Structures are given as C-alpha cells and as structure tokens.
Structure 1
Amino acid sequence: MVSGIITHWRYAWLVAASSIAGVMNAMAGGGSFLSFPAMLGVGVLPIQANATNTVALWPGQLTSVAALHGDMRKDLLPAICIASALGGVSGAVILLHTHQMTFLHLIPWLLLGATILFGLSGPVSRWMRQRSAIPHAERKISPLLVFLALLPICFYIGYFGAGGGFLVMTVLALFGVEEMHTLNSMKVLAACLSNLSAVLTFVLTGAIVWHYCIVSMLFAGTGGYIGAQYARRMNPNVLRAIVVITGCLVASYFFWRNGL
C-alpha cells in the first residue's frame, strides 16, 4: 500500500516537473534543472535518466529550429552541423561508458556549472544585443576555426547539455557574428543537432526508459505550448532569477545527497 502511494507520487512529480520544465524552456530555458532530477526521482539510474530526459525535451528544440531557420548564416552551417554531429555522438558515447556512481557524483558540479552559465547569459546577451544594434558589415569567418571551437561545446551538449547553447552563442559572438537573431538561431541549431545525435545514440543503445520518456515528452510539450503563450508577458529578469535559484537549489540538494 505504502509503496503504491510512493509510486503514484513519483509519477505525479514527473508530470509536474516535466510540465514546468516545458514552461521554463519556452520562457527562458533551464527546464532540465527540474525534469532531470524528476527522472532520478522515479528511480531511473543517473545515466539513463540523463539520456531519457534528453529524448523527452528534444522535440521542443526541433520546433524552434523550424521557426528560426531564416536567420541562420549559410556560410557557417556546414561547420556547425559537422561539429554538432561529431560532438553530440562522442559526448553521448562517453556518457554511456561512464560509471553510474561517477556520473552521480558529477551531477551537482554539472548542474552548478550550468546554473552559473545561465546566470551569466543575461548580461552577456545584453552585451550582444547592444552590439547587434550597431550596423556592422558581415565579417568573413573561418568555418574551420568555428568547427574546432564548437566541437568541445557540442561534446558537452551530448554528454549533459544544460548551458551549452549559451556557450555556442558566446563563441560565435567572439568570432564576430554580430546579429542577435543570427546568434540565437545558430545556438538553437547547434543544440538541436547535438542533442539529435545524442538521442539517436541513446535510442540505438537502448538507454531510454520509454514509459517515463513518453510521459515527460507529452507534458513538457504541453508546458512548452502554455509557456510560449505567456513568454512575452513575463519579465525576463524575473524568469532568469527563478531559473538560477532553481538550479542552485537542485545542485545544493545533490551536493548534500552525495555527502559533499
């Protein structure tokens, strides 16, 4: 009787966390800070929880790519696509060959690092928008250098992912991509393709816990639709603060859980 109640509560938490994660991703990002721990909470092993969470949240990225494809720089597409594919697959393969306990001890550090990156993304994004407001001639950028710079970032996205999109934007801005819509579209493309490569790797190796994945995918999609309706009405600074606080709390919980 007690175990049945606990099981129902775990499902309820997965549904709630996935729904809120979908809302967060649509409004500001950072949904994995809730949906990934929820996967662990229903009893999925750490590596399978990360893989299942990646698959569950990926469809939302695909719809974003479809909406933003017109803003992409065509000259950088081959470099970004190849880096995303190679990095995403290699990150996923390394994840699957990581011991469960090793990954469990990495979780709080990964969450904390992603939270810090997310917190920094606000001021850096404002700086990028200020640059994009000033007319610039489109700079010639070496696709090879872009590929080499993005490869380790795409590896990280395939391995864990949270905060990786911000790193993509930062690197491209440093290379001289000035326009904010272009930066955002290329970020979404790199994250989508890296996670697609990871998703295919996870599916082919049987790392997905499908019944939890489908539940999370459905409710994250619903939350994403709802979040998109209200995204423009919310103060972005408040949303960002909520995501950062959530990330810090979840990371602190895992530090405590691991005895660190």
Structure 2
Amino acid sequence: MTPLEQVLVLLAGLGSGILTSTVGVASLLSFPVLVAVGLPPVVANASNTVGLTPGAISGSFGYRSELRENPRVTAIVLATCAVGSVVGAVLLLALPASVFEGVIPWLILGTCLLVGIQPTLSARLRARRGDDATMRMHVSPVTGLFATITGVYGGYFGAGSGVMMLAVLGLGTDLPFRVANALKTLAVLAANLVASIIFVVAADIDWRAVVLLAAGSVVGGYVGARIGRRLPASLLRAGIVVAGIVGAVLLWR
C-alpha cells in the first residue's frame, strides 16, 4: 500500500468504529476500502474482521453502563453470537465467495426496515398481549435462536449484523432502545472476536491493514458509543434505516 492508501485505511477504520457503535454497518465502509487498495476479497474480509474488533471492544466499553442493566441478556447475546460466529467463520473459509452474494443485500434491507417499523410492531404485540402484560426483559428461546443466526452472519461477512441484532432484540424483547443498541455493539464484538481467532489461525491476513484499521476503529468505537448514547432514539433509528438501505444498494451493484 502507498502512504495515501494507508491513510485511507486508517480513516476507514475510524469511520467504521463510529458506525459500529451507532448504526451498525461498519464493514460497508471498511471492506470496500480494503478491496480498493488491492486486497483479495477473502483476505480483505478476514483482515477487516480482525481490524475492526478493537473498535467493537472500545464501543462496548463506552456502553458499559447500559450493558450492566440486564446482565443475563448481555450474557445470552454474548454467548449466542460467539457460538454462531464460529459457524460463520468456517463457512467463509469453506464456501465460494459468491454463495451469499445474492441474499446479503436482501438480509440487510429487510432487517433495517424491521428496525424502522419495530416501534409499531412492538406496540401491536403489547396490545395483543394486553395492557397488563409483563414487559419482556429476557431473551426467549426463539429470540436466542435468531441471535445465534445473526452471529453466523456476523462471522461470515458481518456488514449489517448490528442492524440485524437490533431487529432481533427489538421484536423479541421490550428492552429500551439505548440498551438494545449497546447489546448490538456487544454482539458485533462477540462475532468479530471469535471469528478473528479462527482467521488468525486459518486464513490469510494482511497485518498492515489490520493494524491501520485497529488504530482507527479503537478510537471510532468509543467516540461512536458517546454519540449513540446522546442521540434521540428516533434519530438513531432513522440513521440505521438509511445506512442499511444505502448499504444494501451498494452491495447490489
């Protein structure tokens, strides 16, 4: 990489770290940059996952107060996404890169739209259960299953996995949006961390790209958490929907 390309990768890491902690579509920024500077797609994907893990760590640290509010849910999200990401990472190394190219944009588009209409859907579900229904502050087996599937996708490719987790938590629980957003960042961390261990052992990685991404994302992740905590839920939700739609369109091209 030329000096200019290295600066671009560093800035992509910074921007992706912010996106990890806010709208959850970080890889849609960093992965194309890695490919543009000459990395093969699979090498770029593995390097991107490893390089963005520090950003997810700093972002989760920035949301530590929200994560402490529901420790059992936090533990379940961490475990399900970690287990799922093992499957996803293995699929990335074992299957042709073209396998999921057709379905990924639809997954991102569908889940970001679910995030947008989730308040309406949740209100109807609460009305159907009755006004005296207990708030769902736990993860049901069905919600846990979908969280695991989100972890599989996070280990395989990851772009939009945070949006998917928000949709899963938004429909499967009644957690406050700020807490769900914090859990989304933790889910990205779990998937990235486990997949990174597998990639370091079994995949080709461009360590220069990893270091540059990591340096940018660790700052961006913490800054993004500060931003995400202060933004109104409606504004953050709108940003997630817009980012998801843009990402899906870009992946169709």
2:76 maps to 1:69 = no
1:191 aligned partner: 188
| Distance 1:210-1:111 versus aligned 2 partners, 3 A rule | farther
Within 5 Å, give how 1:146-165 maps onto structure 2.
146-165=143-162
The answer to whether the Cα contact below 8 Å between 1:131 and 1:178 also exists between their aligned partners in 2 is no
Query: What's the Cα RMSD here?
Result: 3.6
Output the CA distance in 2 between the equivalents of 1:242 and 1:148: 27
What is the letter of the counterpart of residue 97 of structure 1? A
After TM superposition, give the deviation of residue 214 of structure 1 in Å: 0.5
Percent same amino acid at aligned positions? 26
2:38 aligned partner: 43
How many aligned residue pairs are there? 242
2:175 aligned partner: 179
The answer to whether the Cα contact below 8 Å between 1:79 and 1:143 also exists between their aligned partners in 2 is no
SS of the residue corresponding to residue 2 of structure 2 reads helix
Q: Kindly indicate whether structure 1 or structure 2 has the higher relative contact order, using CA contacts under 8 Å at least 6 residues apart.
A: 2
After TM superposition, give the deviation of residue 143 of structure 1 in Å: 5.2
Gaps in structure 1 of 5+ consecutive residues: 1-5, 256-260
After TM superposition, give the deviation of residue 93 of structure 1 in Å: 0.7
The answer to whether the Cα contact below 8 Å between 2:28 and 2:247 also exists between their aligned partners in 1 is yes
What is the letter of the counterpart of residue 250 of structure 2? V
What is the letter of the counterpart of residue 124 of structure 1? Q
1:221 aligned partner: 218
After TM superposition, give the deviation of residue 125 of structure 1 in Å: 5.5
After TM superposition, give the deviation of residue 20 of structure 1 in Å: 2.6
Output the CA distance in 2 between the equivalents of 1:73 and 1:233: 23
2:116 aligned partner: 122
Output the CA distance in 2 between the equivalents of 1:85 and 1:113: 20
Within 5 Å, give how 1:1-260 maps onto structure 2.
7-66=2-61, 67=64, 68-74=66-72, 76=73, 79-100=76-97, 102=98, 106-107=100-101, 110-111=104-105, 113-124=107-118, 137-139=134-136, 144-175=141-172, 177-180=173-176, 181-227=178-224, 232=230, 236=236, 239-240=239-240, 243-244=243-244, 246-248=246-248, 250-252=250-252, 255=253
Farther-moved stretch of structure 1 (142-151 vs 212-221): 142-151
Residues 148-195 of structure 1, C-alpha deviations (whole Å, 9 max, x = no match): 3332221111111222233333334444x2122443344333332222
Residues 56-92 of structure 1, C-alpha deviations (whole Å, 9 max, x = no match): 1122222333413212251x45644442232111110
Residues 1-48 of structure 1, C-alpha deviations (whole Å, 9 max, x = no match): xxxxx8344333323323332333344332211101011112111112
Output the CA distance in 2 between the equivalents of 1:140 and 1:21: 30
Which structure has the larger Rg over C-alpha atoms? 1
| Distance 1:221-1:126 versus aligned 2 partners, 3 A rule | farther
1:3 aligned partner: none
What is the letter of the counterpart of residue 175 of structure 2? E
After TM superposition, give the deviation of residue 116 of structure 1 in Å: 4.9
Q: Give TM-score, length-normalised by structure 1.
A: 0.73
